[in-house]
Structure 1
Amino acid sequence: MSYKKFLPLFVALICICCSVFAQRDTVSLNTIIAKSVKFVNDYPIEKVYVHFDKPYYAAGDTVWLKAYTTTDLHVPSTLSKIVYVDVYNDQDSLMASIKMPLVNGVAPGMIPLPAEGYKQGNYRLRAYTNWMLNFDGSYLFTKVLTIGNPIDKDVLTTVSFGHTAGAQPGTTVRIFYKDPNGKPLANQKISWRTEASHDETGKGRGTTDANGYLTISLPPTPSITLSSSTLFTTMELGTKNVTNIFPLKSAAPGKDVQFFPEGGQLIAGVPGKVAVKAIKADGLGVNLKGTVVDNAGQTVCTLSADHIGMGAFAMQPEAGKSYKANITFADGTTGSYDLPRVQASGITLMIANADADNLTIRILSSESFFQANQNKNFSIVAQQGGFIKYAAQTRLEKQVYSAIVPKTKFQSGTLQITLFGPTGSPISERMVFIQKADLLNLAINTDKPQYLHRQPVKMTIAAKNGALPAEASLSVSVVDEGKVPVDEDAETTILTSLLLTSDLRGYIEKPNYYFKKPDEKTIADLDILMLTQGYRRFSFRDVMAGRNPKILVMPETGIDITGTLRNRTGLPIFKGIVRLMMADRTASLQATTNADGQFKFANVMVNDSTKITITARDNPGYTNLMLMVDGQTYPAPSRITTLPDERLNIDSAMRPYLENSKRVYNNTHQLKEVVVKAAVAPKRPGHLEHGALTGLSPEPDHLIDGERFKGCTFFVSCLQSMALGLTYVDNIFYVTRDYNAGIKKPMEVYMDGLQVDMNYLQGVVASEVESVEIFFKDGMSGINQRDGTNGVLVINKKKAPKGQKVSLADLQKLLPNPYQVEMVPRGYTVVKEFYAPKYDVAKPNAGGVDLRSTIYWNPKVTTDKITGAATVQFNNADGTGTYRAIVEGMDAAGNIGRYVYRYKVQ
């Protein structure tokens, strides 16, 4: 893979100079530049951002989305042609996965959320290309997808947490219960239990008071255990038992305070800035104030953090002293925390970023460091997205250097500035954020400032690159803001994602705060964020040391179906003919095998759930041939860093939206009382039918219904992504909690009561599986003790109805021909068009009530390259109030933009 456009950039860098850092053509600086250019040339950075029609959903909704994929500095990607979006539940079980073809770096998509499959809760969504899986999973696009379910809900809850005083403070959980009409559920009996890693850690019973409150006192528990625990409460409501689930991560009392000296370290005698960041156990920031004292107890300075737990203070450390901060948090609790150890000698990098036009770069060294390194060469390199935008070198001739660098050299986004020592090793680093007027300028106008409900809206969207019209690929969402209120500071946008969070590892709270209305304060707060976010995508230390990523998968240019053709003795067939046929098409594809018997159908346009047949019948003596198709793999769940975005009290946090969703459901589902006169459903196969497994618990820890494997091509590949609480390594399943604790005993596997190995499962047809039962322990069966295993995995196959006649064709299917394979590959997800009703102007109130929350969604808006404009039309719904329109997108040159517009409906 080669990006020749890097070469002119490399030449230009050699010519960069400034008033203080005299450019010197040294091996050290040239080596830094050359290695950096080669790294980005060989390992281009690909990013994915996903625009959604709204910030949260209800079970039964459809998620409408558009993926934007970029390389370099936000140019539409030509590297990958396929993008994936996965949805996991809070136990890392795959709920949905869509595969979309990329055209000019973009792809529209949709994810249905069937009410029977999605319980109320916080789900984790990630989007990626195959190429991105070669690198740190922390940089995949991730989002917490909160889904409510207001249907047939008898109990609504709100939970809060407190702590009891003492040397080992306990935790108090206070839960408010009410019915769907808002009436408190008083004097209701409730049983509760807590679990950590599927093990019960506590239980009890209680009764709600006259106001519907239940208070539970949990014993003192380590924060790390409490933060991974879950509380289950069950209310005896008439003849029903209603269970509610509450994650306890927000209940953990611990707080973490970290200090980040600018440039990386505290150096004796060198004045500097120190950033502070404080977070609670749930990952959210907590404000504080306090003082810094030395080891003699003398106050050195005061400090405060008043922006979601972040702040900064100035100090000049002294040699031989240590420092700590005495802190009072916003909730009244206190703590004492050590500052980093003071270095006796060193050099550091400091940046002033308040000027709109220029960066001020300063290098400060201690006296001892200066004396030891006087007249040696030091270099500064600034990069964005791996592209070096500024490079300079100077001799160390004084302790303090200062230079002004125009921001015209950079683009909007994160800028990594690194100081290199005489040997070419990075010794100090600083991240800054560049905010310039270089974004795609988007605007929305409507033909009227105010509308009536159901009235048609003509919306004009304009895109400009500077003052010139731009041809841009955009997505537009219009929602009824009264039904879908949103915290704008916390939104994930194309700007927050591609310019900020995709370059920094770790959670960033309320990212849109820095972009919504930039001013002096937000710019200052953003600079402190850059000081505290200690991990970045591009590591000069790895680049200089030659520690390159291990490439396991190449960029996908389309769907490839590959395999091997052999004869009965296992020898490969050279120049054999293999044909691919699709059930929904009359034409077929043909491939010829190479000397190793391998064949490949490249860039096959096949939709998901489409059945295909691959056959070698066109060869002489085909009955003596064996056709094998290569399997498809599913990436394991990656760590999601956005978990602090999870909503704890979904019923109250999403109340307007869920109330509207319930009205929508009631208007579209009119249930009538019926009398069911059907035969009792046949008993489904399970482990209790087999004597060898009767010692297992009657109920498995987790059950995967066979319907989940519908459309699955390779059973084991799907099972490893769906098996809750299991880890799949080197073709072996392990119990995750034990594997992580160092107990690496494999699970025992049974198929229809018979003990089998993992190789046997490679031949299992997914459509024949009735269910999969997962047992973390073997109960009274003695299986694990006998075989030295840990946990039991049971696969139950479907049973044919008794007495049913079997046709010759069915018998032939039971004995498949070795020269032919029928399969359902993982194809592209079919995307329907968003339905926006059009109303007759003469009869505006016909057709029943219109309760839509998403009024309009269009992922395929393209502005005209001459005028820079595009027009869309749609009708309002019956909701009155404020409607909020959002347009996001990018042009072919890599300029990205976003615009928010509101209009009134009465």
Structure 2
Amino acid sequence: MKKYFYLLFFCLFTATVYAQSDSVSLTSLVESAVKVNNSHPVEKVYLHFDKPYYAVGDTIWFKAYLTMEAHQLSELSKVVNVDVISDRDSLIETVKLPVTGGTAAGSVVLNGLTYRQGNYHFKAYTLWQLNFPPSYLFDKVVTIGGSANKGILASASYSGNIADKNSKLNARILYKNPDGTLLANRRVDWRLDRNGDQITKGKGVTDGAGYLTIELAGTKAEDITAGTLITGLETADKQIKTSAFTLKNAFNGTDVQFFPEGGTLVADIPNIVAFKALQTNGLGLDVKGTIVDDKNQQVGTFSSQHLGMGKFTFAPAVNAIYKAKIEFPDGTKGTYQLPRVTNSGITLAVNNSNATSLILQLNASQTYFEKHKNQAYYIIAKTGGYVMFAAQAFLNSQTYSATIPKSKFKTGVLQLTLLSTAGDPLSERLVYIDHNDPLNISLSTDKPSYLTRQKVLMKAATKFGDKPAEANMSVSVVDESKVAYNDNQATTIASYLLLTSDISGYVEQPNYYFGTPSAKKADDLDVLMLTQGFRQFTFFDIVDNKIPPIRMLAEQGINLTGTLRKFNGMPVFKGNVRLIIPDKGISAETITDADGNFIFRNVVFTDSSSVTINARNNVDAHNLKLTMNADFYPAVTKQQNFADEMPNIDSVLNVYVKNSERQYQTNRVLKEVVIKASTKKKIDHTTYPALSGLSNMPDHVLDGEQLKGCNNLLACLPSMLMGIMYRDNNFYFARDYNLGNTKPIQFYARGLQVDVSYLSTLDPKSIESIESFSSDGFTGINKMTDTHGVVVINLKEQPKGTKISLDELKRMLPEPNVVSFTPKGYVKTRQFYSPKYEVTRAVQNSDLRSTIFWNPNVLSDKLGNAAFSFYTSDGRGTYKAVIEGIDKDGNLGRTVYKFTVK
């Protein structure tokens, strides 16, 4: 691991140095910070997706960029994990990608068995990142539309303030046919569910305009915000069409927060105070208002300048109390307390408006100055987690100013901290350094416009400054008429790695700050810096030695670990364990340590590979038992980017989903024919009365076909049923277990309770499906059995008189010293299909692609040149190419290029 010690000492103010017995030297303080950063280097993962939203049936294509230090491609970790999490915080799928040269490419198929319409969070991380807080993990909301053939479109609007007990909370839902016809005078049954439990229910009839109003007044606020509103509309042919609406961001509610520059509101000196007004949905709200003192005398006014954020300046008086009287856009008003005034204190203020220099200013109140006159202070600047600047200042007067050349810092978030000589942080300010020096990526095409199904030759040229740059890039081309999107809302390689990954809290429209430079954008970005917190370790942590220890080592490959014990529980020392992966021709052997643990390192295999591990080659082998360790999943935390979730997917993505349905129409018609021809009854949990109270939407469903290659269900389940772990002969939901909930899962088979040992007797071929539920719904199962969650194993119907062969009987009674399973391996590499229209056009089916081209491996040469080609589809209009990437020195770039297809 490279050692970094970027340090520039400055003495900002000349004065006599006074010795202090409790002081620490600036050098030792900086060295401590450097030591922490060298032992805890920060990795970042960024995912570039081919488009911003999808439909069930699509394939999501993405590229992972793994960086560390000064945004250079990381050499630390060799595996990137991508978790797909539903808006109900259920783990849907995990993708494991091998990293080569700091990048990896992957894909997720949105099959209808696993995915439904909703907002999903894609979390990307390395195991090394799990040594840091959850906010360090990449998190992006990806909205997935459902089927256009479900028969209705439903969109909801809401009224009422969730924080006001006297406010009426109403949901108003508009129902339409896919062709836009209003569904008037239709019966609708509705219910409010929370974690599978029904809170309340009702029924109504749509009015002449297709609207249904649902009153939720009287229901607990926590039940509403954590609940889902489910409606069933009866169509003319008596079918019930279901729609679901997540309510966590639905109802009105506002909050206004105030952030004094430097962190403290100090009396008798001018203070810049930033503010942010937020709605319940997490988005900014433009407001205006006045500042009044405790005598109700107005001392200032303010109004927001961008997305609910703004700033004002005033000098508070000693012992005064201030409030802000706010006026909201709808005419309502509110009063909010400003932070408490500190009568004696010092703050660090920064003026970032100068193009070449930062202007720093220390402001001390009169009483503070008199008490600390001529004392020394430290100013330390960090960027990218590393100390880039350190200075010593002396308090000779109440206000001192100094300048620092911006050339000392790279583009990105800079954390400036004022500390006492004892190492105590006194004031902190974030600024954004912008040298306007991105990796320059230019795109060009061989023609100004194209016809449908015509070949496009596109060239890319990469430069940093005036010199060619070798860059690693990914490019997506979409038909913009099918994929409309506000580019300000995009999460880009620059907005994430340079901005949002280094600050805490949600940032609305992050790419707005990276568009064409302007004075207003620079000022808006500075206000953002005043309202956000820094994500790295603080000096409080460093000085007090509160840096958490390293728990997870950097993953260099896939490791398979387990234990070998005797039946009496004693570990086997120096036991022989063998691994076999038949389809890969892999065979390896290892021995156990004194605790019976064994490990196979850097095993390379794909998700579908069957792995067998046995301990037969040991003395008294038939009395030995093998147990495999479960995968580790990050703990569930509040989704930081929940404001990006799309509330009315039906209406917003209607055009896209319709096109997607047409694109896959042939395959779906064939599927429908097969289903209609089948008279076989589907077996699921609703088949059994004791389980009918479970939710109609399991957290995860494992189809029996996916168990092919599995010989031991007990060994396969932890790796195949997402989010499930096996410990001490019990199964748990991994995320809850990691948070301290150690109640096991209750299993059911054929509608009856079964214990874990029964699973080893089941033949995987006899299983129709397996459903998992994190909540037991209305069944009361968890209360009766003191468990947490339910897994239902649905068995196929067996013909009467079926005989079991000897081989099948052996498989039902597996040897304890042999484990055969399908662990989580690397995702299979998929190739993006790009058709070639070089022969005739008449025989081709309609080409309705929305993603025209995707290439995750665009590499420019030493001259900065790269080229690629593709064919247009049948769509006419504007096509948008988005290319982004990084060069070997960590310079980031992104370009959007549009061309016309006639």
TM-score for the superposition, normalised by structure 2:
0.90
Q: Does 1:125 align with 2:85?
A: no
Q: 1:403 corresponds to which residue? A: 402
Do the aligned partners of 2:374 and 2:395 also contact (CA within 8 Å) in 1? Answer: yes
Aligned positions of 1:424-439 closer than 5 A: 424-439=423-438
Do the aligned partners of 1:685 and 1:798 also contact (CA within 8 Å) in 2? Answer: no
Q: 1:211 corresponds to which residue? A: 209
In structure 2, relative to structure 1, the CA distance for the partners of 1:535 and 1:850 (3 Å cut) is: same
SS at match of 1:249: coil
Do the aligned partners of 2:716 and 2:821 also contact (CA within 8 Å) in 1? Answer: no
1:69-88 deviation line (CA, Å, top 9, x unaligned): 11112111111110011111
The amino acid of 2:172's aligned partner reads R
Q: 1:817 corresponds to which residue? A: 815
Instruction: Supply the distance in 1 between the matched residues of 2:834 and 2:17 (Cα, whole angstroms).
Output: 61
- Range with bigger deviation, 334-343 or 810-819: 810-819
The amino acid of 1:897's aligned partner reads G
SS at match of 2:149: coil
Q: What's the offset of the Cα at 1:331?
A: 2.0
1:686-736 deviation line (CA, Å, top 9, x unaligned): 8958xxxx5x7654576454428847985674699558xx99999786999
Instruction: Supply the distance in 2 between the matched residues of 1:66 and 1:641 (Cα, whole angstroms).
Output: 22
1:100-128 deviation line (CA, Å, top 9, x unaligned): 00011100000000134322111121111
Q: 2:83 corresponds to which residue? A: 86
Instruction: Supply the distance in 2 between the matched residues of 1:257 and 1:393 (Cα, whole angstroms).
Output: 36
Instruction: Supply the distance in 1 between the matched residues of 2:275 and 2:693 (Cα, whole angstroms).
Output: 52
Aligned positions of 1:644-663 closer than 5 A: 644-663=643-662
Aligned positions of 1:361-376 closer than 5 A: 361-376=360-375
Q: What's the offset of the Cα at 1:523?
A: 0.7
Instruction: Supply the distance in 1 between the matched residues of 2:895 and 2:577 (Cα, whole angstroms).
Output: 52
SS at match of 1:67: strand
Do the aligned partners of 1:701 and 1:776 also contact (CA within 8 Å) in 2? Answer: no
Instruction: Supply the distance in 2 between the matched residues of 1:495 and 1:199 (Cα, whole angstroms).
Output: 43
Q: What's the offset of the Cα at 1:96?
A: 1.6
Q: 2:897 corresponds to which residue? A: 901
1:542-590 deviation line (CA, Å, top 9, x unaligned): 1111001243221100012234456677666665554322121335233
- Range with bigger deviation, 297-306 or 249-258: 249-258
Instruction: Supply the distance in 1 between the matched residues of 2:414 and 2:646 (Cα, whole angstroms).
Output: 32
Q: What's the offset of the Cα at 1:357?
A: 1.3
Instruction: Supply the distance in 1 between the matched residues of 2:566 and 2:243 (Cα, whole angstroms).
Output: 59
Aligned positions of 1:216-295 closer than 5 A: 216-219=214-217, 225-237=223-235, 238-295=237-294
In structure 2, relative to structure 1, the CA distance for the partners of 1:456 and 1:232 (3 Å cut) is: same
Instruction: Supply the distance in 1 between the matched residues of 2:727 and 2:309 (Cα, whole angstroms).
Output: 39
1:236-293 deviation line (CA, Å, top 9, x unaligned): 1122111111222343222101100001111110101100101011111110011111
In structure 2, relative to structure 1, the CA distance for the partners of 1:313 and 1:731 (3 Å cut) is: farther
Q: 1:872 corresponds to which residue? A: 868
Q: What's the offset of the Cα at 1:185?
A: 1.1
SS at match of 1:904: strand
- Range with bigger deviation, 790-799 or 663-672: 790-799
Instruction: Supply the distance in 1 between the matched residues of 2:530 and 2:207 (Cα, whole angstroms).
Output: 48
Q: Does 1:115 align with 2:112?
A: yes
The amino acid of 1:519's aligned partner reads S
Q: 1:473 corresponds to which residue? A: 472
Q: What's the offset of the Cα at 1:67?
A: 0.4
1:50-79 deviation line (CA, Å, top 9, x unaligned): 000000001000000000111112111111
Q: 1:829 corresponds to which residue? A: 827
In structure 2, relative to structure 1, the CA distance for the partners of 1:24 and 1:136 (3 Å cut) is: farther
Q: 2:182 corresponds to which residue? A: 184
The amino acid of 2:326's aligned partner reads I
SS at match of 2:664: helix
Instruction: Supply the distance in 2 between the matched residues of 1:600 and 1:735 (Cα, whole angstroms).
Output: 21
Do the aligned partners of 2:189 and 2:204 also contact (CA within 8 Å) in 1? Answer: yes
Do the aligned partners of 2:346 and 2:362 also contact (CA within 8 Å) in 1? Answer: yes
Q: 1:885 corresponds to which residue? A: 881
Q: What's the offset of the Cα at 1:804?
A: 3.1
Aligned positions of 1:299-310 closer than 5 A: 299-310=298-309
1:203-262 deviation line (CA, Å, top 9, x unaligned): 332222222222333326665554333322211112211111122234322210110000
Do the aligned partners of 1:171 and 1:251 also contact (CA within 8 Å) in 2? Answer: no
Q: Does 1:62 align with 2:76?
A: no
Q: 1:148 aligns with which of 145, 148, 156?
A: 145
- Range with bigger deviation, 763-772 or 262-271: 763-772
Q: 2:703 corresponds to which residue? A: 707
Q: What's the offset of the Cα at 1:676?
A: 5.7
The amino acid of 1:510's aligned partner reads Q
Do the aligned partners of 1:687 and 1:794 also contact (CA within 8 Å) in 2? Answer: no
- Range with bigger deviation, 129-138 or 614-623: 614-623
Q: What's the offset of the Cα at 1:659?
A: 2.6
Q: Does 1:97 align with 2:94?
A: yes
The amino acid of 2:490's aligned partner reads E
Instruction: Supply the distance in 1 between the matched residues of 2:104 and 2:85 (Cα, whole angstroms).
Output: 21
In structure 2, relative to structure 1, the CA distance for the partners of 1:905 and 1:739 (3 Å cut) is: closer
Q: 1:523 corresponds to which residue? A: 522
Q: 1:194 aligns with which of 175, 192, 195?
A: 192
Instruction: Provide the alpha-carbon RMSD of the alignment.
Output: 3.5
Instruction: Supply the distance in 2 between the matched residues of 1:783 and 1:173 (Cα, whole angstroms).
Output: 32
Q: 2:588 corresponds to which residue? A: 589
Aligned positions of 1:717-866 closer than 5 A: 717=718, 722=723, 746=743, 749=746, 752=749, 770-772=769-771, 774=773, 784=783, 789=786, 793=790, 795-796=792-793, 798=795, 801=798, 802-840=800-838, 843-865=840-862
- Range with bigger deviation, 302-311 or 158-167: 158-167
SS at match of 2:866: strand
Do the aligned partners of 1:713 and 1:826 also contact (CA within 8 Å) in 2? Answer: no
In structure 2, relative to structure 1, the CA distance for the partners of 1:684 and 1:438 (3 Å cut) is: closer
In structure 2, relative to structure 1, the CA distance for the partners of 1:340 and 1:757 (3 Å cut) is: farther
In structure 2, relative to structure 1, the CA distance for the partners of 1:111 and 1:20 (3 Å cut) is: farther
In structure 2, relative to structure 1, the CA distance for the partners of 1:334 and 1:197 (3 Å cut) is: farther
SS at match of 1:603: strand
- Range with bigger deviation, 411-420 or 545-554: 545-554
1:480-507 deviation line (CA, Å, top 9, x unaligned): 1111011111101001111111111211
The amino acid of 1:804's aligned partner reads T
- Range with bigger deviation, 702-711 or 54-63: 702-711
Instruction: Supply the distance in 1 between the matched residues of 2:814 and 2:348 (Cα, whole angstroms).
Output: 69
Q: 1:138 aligns with which of 114, 131, 135?
A: 135
Instruction: Supply the distance in 1 between the matched residues of 2:667 and 2:776 (Cα, whole angstroms).
Output: 45
Do the aligned partners of 2:186 and 2:206 also contact (CA within 8 Å) in 1? Answer: yes
Q: Does 1:602 align with 2:598?
A: no
- Range with bigger deviation, 135-144 or 218-227: 218-227
Do the aligned partners of 1:349 and 1:362 also contact (CA within 8 Å) in 2? Answer: yes
Q: Which runs of 5+ in 2 are unaligned?
A: none
SS at match of 1:110: strand
Q: Does 1:336 align with 2:335?
A: yes
The amino acid of 2:256's aligned partner reads V
The amino acid of 1:876's aligned partner reads T
Give the fraction of aligned pairs with identical amino acids, expressed as a percent.
42
1:161-201 deviation line (CA, Å, top 9, x unaligned): 23399981212322221111111111112222223454444
Instruction: Supply the distance in 2 between the matched residues of 1:750 and 1:103 (Cα, whole angstroms).
Output: 41
SS at match of 1:60: coil
Aligned positions of 1:489-638 closer than 5 A: 489-565=488-564, 577-594=576-593, 598-617=597-616, 626-638=625-637
Q: 1:53 corresponds to which residue? A: 50
